[in-house]
């Protein structure tokens, strides 16, 4: 199929089954499986308004590629600008090497430009050593910023040792304003961060295509219910799961001893973002993280959080030597100017 001609168009609700089929194709080790309607999960499942693009090829029954773009806003060199995140690029193996990945990227970049012109920021993340994704991104990006760390920790099988005078629980509605104020204060100088308010917190708690919330806001409080630390958890695994289709023998042997992964190798991610803490409250934040690993155990298998390696919040997450893997991420970015790397970068979570 060296001369395939592709047709690209916006994803529609009727594409749901074909999208699910495309994402279920293994890329070697991992495949993705949707648990609900794929179109609904993509367009309504996260906090961001999301648009998808799909690719068809004459003579092929089904989709041969797809990608998504999510829209939000974030700080960039001291300004609050529109932001578009390019995600979920997928091309069937037999159609690779024909420029389809580039075409899907160009479609999404054009869609972002149609939304906000040249005054916004376009960004996408990739594994640092993913050379094919890097080659595609070079066609549109202004720069690469890297590396960034992803911390993955399994949920706990038993609660952590209690911290005297500190309780970890979900934030109450009357605390949403304070939660937002504290998070905004912590991230006020970060590139990529979009300030929030209490109304947005409430909207996220109620936003779900399911019959239960998928956004949860956890806090560590003292005896007087003062908020000392907080973080947001998105139960991504309620929509879709990652399946290790052919776990290699060394992984199976190690997993049989350490139980790092579920026995069925189905990974249900809980994405953690906006981890903040008040000055001198690092221990409370560390306790919050460990308690979240316990409190979220019924809703996922793994907590995932990404950091700028210079981020003070990185000290909150203490990984054990056997908490693997620890991928490094590179970001391709196009903004109205080169990004000011003296500022920390607030990272978009995976979708």
Q: For the chain, what is the mean pLDDT? A: 93
| pLDDT tens-digit series, residues 241-298 | 999 888 888 878 877 887 777 888 899 999 999 999 999 999 999 999 999 999 999 9
**pLDDT at 335 exceeding the cut of 60:** yes
Fold adopted by 151-326: Aminopeptidase (3.40.630)
pLDDT at 2: 54
| pLDDT tens-digit series, residues 67-76 | 999 999 999 9
Please check whether residue 33 is in contact with residue 24, taking contact to mean a CB–CB distance below 8 angstroms: yes
- Domain assignments of the chain as residue spans, ordered by start: 6-148, 151-326
In percent, the amount of the chain with pLDDT more than 70 equals 98
316 CA to centre of own chain: 19
pLDDT at 326: 81
pLDDT at 29: 75
How would you classify the pairing of strands 121-127 and 79-91? Answer: parallel
In percent, the amount of the chain with pLDDT more than 90 equals 84
Query: What are the φ and ψ backbone dihedral angles of 180, each rounded to 5 degrees?
Result: -65, -40
Distance CA 107, CA 122 (A): 13
Distance CA 347, CA 351 (A): 12
pLDDT at 218: 98
The neighbouring-strand residues paired with 122 are 84, 334
Please check whether residue 163 is in contact with residue 283, taking contact to mean a CB–CB distance below 8 angstroms: yes
**pLDDT at 131 exceeding the cut of 70:** yes
Q: What is the mean pLDDT of residues 74-103?
A: 95
CATH superfamily assigned to domain 6-148: Gcn5-related N-acetyltransferase (GNAT) (3.40.630.30)
Sign of CA dihedral 135, 139, 143, 148: negative
Distance CA 231, CA 306 (A): 13
Give per-residue burial for 172-185: e unless 16+ CB within 10 Å, then b: eeebbebbbebbbe
Q: How many CB atoms lie within 10 A of CB 197?
A: 14
Instruction: Categorize the per-residue pLDDT at 1 as very low, low, confident or very high, splitting at 50, 70 and 90.
Output: very low
82 CA to centre of own chain: 18
Extract the tokens encoding 78.
């001291």
Q: How many CB atoms lie within 10 A of CB 194?
A: 19
**pLDDT at 27 exceeding the cut of 80:** no
The answer for residues whose C-beta is within 8 angstroms of residue 261's C-beta and 6 or more apart is 154, 244, 247, 251, 255, 267, 301
How big is the CA angle at 112 (ends 111 and 114), to the nearest 5 degrees?
65
How would you classify the pairing of strands 65-76 and 6-10? Answer: unpaired
**pLDDT at 61 exceeding the cut of 90:** yes
Torsion of CA 346, 66, 136, 328, to 10 degrees: 40
Give the closest residue to 54 by CA, choosing from 46, 28, 62: 62
Q: 6-148 and 151-326: same fold?
A: yes
Rounded to a whole number of angstroms, the CA Rg of the chain reads 20
**pLDDT at 28 exceeding the cut of 70:** no
Which range among 134-143, 177-186, 292-301, 317-326 shows the weakest confidence by mean pLDDT? Answer: 317-326
Q: What is the mean pLDDT of residues 15-43?
A: 91
């Amino acid at each position: 199929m060296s001369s395939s001609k592709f047709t690209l168009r916006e994803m529609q609700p009727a594409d749901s089954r074909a999208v699910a089929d495309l994402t279920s194709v293994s890329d070697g080790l991992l495949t993705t499986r949707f648990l609900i309607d794929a179109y609904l999960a993509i367009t309504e499942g996260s906090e961001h308004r999301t648009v998808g693009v799909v690719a068809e090829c004459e003579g092929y029954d089904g989709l041969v590629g797809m990608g998504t773009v999510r829209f939000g806003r974030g700080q960039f060199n001291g300004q609050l600008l529109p932001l578009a995140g390019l995600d979920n690029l997928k091309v069937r193996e037999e159609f690779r090497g024909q420029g389809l990945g580039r075409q899907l990227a160009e479609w999404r970049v054009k869609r972002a430009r149609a939304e906000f012109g040249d005054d916004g920021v376009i960004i996408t993340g990739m594994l640092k050593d993913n050379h094919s994704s890097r080659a595609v991104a070079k066609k549109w990006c202004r720069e690469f910023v890297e590396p960034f760390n992803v911390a993955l920790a399994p949920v706990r099988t038993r609660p952590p040792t209690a911290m005297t005078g500190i309780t970890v629980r979900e934030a109450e509605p009357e605390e949403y304003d304070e939660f937002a104020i504290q998070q905004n204060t912590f991230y006020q100088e970060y590139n990529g961060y979009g300030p929030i308010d209490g109304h947005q917190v409430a909207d996220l708690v109620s936003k779900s295509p399911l019959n239960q919330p998928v956004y949860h806001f956890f806090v560590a409080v003292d005896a007087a219910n003062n908020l000392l630390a907080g973080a947001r958890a998105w139960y991504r695994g309620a929509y879709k799961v990652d399946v290790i289709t052919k776990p290699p023998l060394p992984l199976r042997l190690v997993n049989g001893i350490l139980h790092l992964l579920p026995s069925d190798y189905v990974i249900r991610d809980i994405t953690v973002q906006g981890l903040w803490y008040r000055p001198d409250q690092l221990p409370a934040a560390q306790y919050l993280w460990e308690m979240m690993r316990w409190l979220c155990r019924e809703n996922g298998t793994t907590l995932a959080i990404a950091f700028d390696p210079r981020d003070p919040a990185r000290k909150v997450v203490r990984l054990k030597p056997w908490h693997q893997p620890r991928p490094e991420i590179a970001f391709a970015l196009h903004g109205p100017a080169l990004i000011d790397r003296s500022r920390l970068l607030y990272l978009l979570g995976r979708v």
